[in-house]
């Protein structure tokens, strides 16, 4: 038994979420691995409140999971019920090199 078909309205809302370059970049990062918010801040060269605002929108839209470990929150992709996004996310430029260059501020 597969997932129920998604409506055009639901798909439209999800695609709107991905219309912002920062949220799309976050999705590209999470494609590589589960990531702590402080590492996202480093790669995006932004503030923690700004990154958190975008992550909240992605979480509220059902595109990411969050897991708390001690004082840190880690994010991962949540695309199991959105197969129409999987191909698109796979086409995003790799963030692997940028992510390897960051030095975690202690959230790892």
Read off the CATH number of the domain in which 33 is found.
1.10.10.10
pTM: 0.88
In a domain, 86, yes or no: yes
- pLDDT at residue number 5: 79
> Tens digit of pLDDT per residue, the chain (108 long)?
556 678 899 989 999 999 999 999 999 999 999 999 999 999 999 999 999 999 999 999 999 999 998 888 999 999 998 888 999 999 999 999 988 887 655 565
Residue with tokens 């995003």, as numbered in its chain: 92
Q: How far apart are CA 10 and CA 8, in angstroms?
A: 5
- pLDDT at residue number 107: 65
In a domain, 31, yes or no: yes
In a domain, 19, yes or no: yes
In a domain, 27, yes or no: yes
In a domain, 51, yes or no: yes
In a domain, 106, yes or no: no
In a domain, 85, yes or no: yes
In a domain, 73, yes or no: yes
CB 58 within 8 A of CB 27: yes
Residue numbers of the domain that contains 72: 9-97
> Please, which residues have CB within 8 angstroms of residue 39's CB and are 6 or more apart in sequence?
29, 99, 102, 104, 107, 108
- pLDDT at residue number 83: 87
Structural domains of the chain, count:
1
- pLDDT at residue number 67: 95
DSSP E strands, the chain = 35-36, 64-69, 72-77
């Amino acid at each position: 038994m597969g997932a129920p078909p998604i409506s055009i309205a639901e798909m439209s809302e999800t695609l709107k979420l991905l219309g912002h370059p920062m949220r799309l970049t976050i999705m590209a990062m999470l494609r590589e691995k589960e990531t702590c918010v402080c590492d996202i801040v480093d790669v995006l060269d932004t503030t923690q409140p700004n990154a958190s605002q975008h992550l909240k929108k992605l979480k509220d839209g059902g595109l990411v999971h969050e897991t708390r470990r001690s004082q840190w929150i880690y994010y991962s992709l949540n695309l199991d019920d959105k197969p129409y996004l999987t191909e698109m996310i796979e086409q995003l430029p790799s963030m692997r090199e940028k992510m390897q260059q960051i030095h975690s501020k202690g959230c790892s």
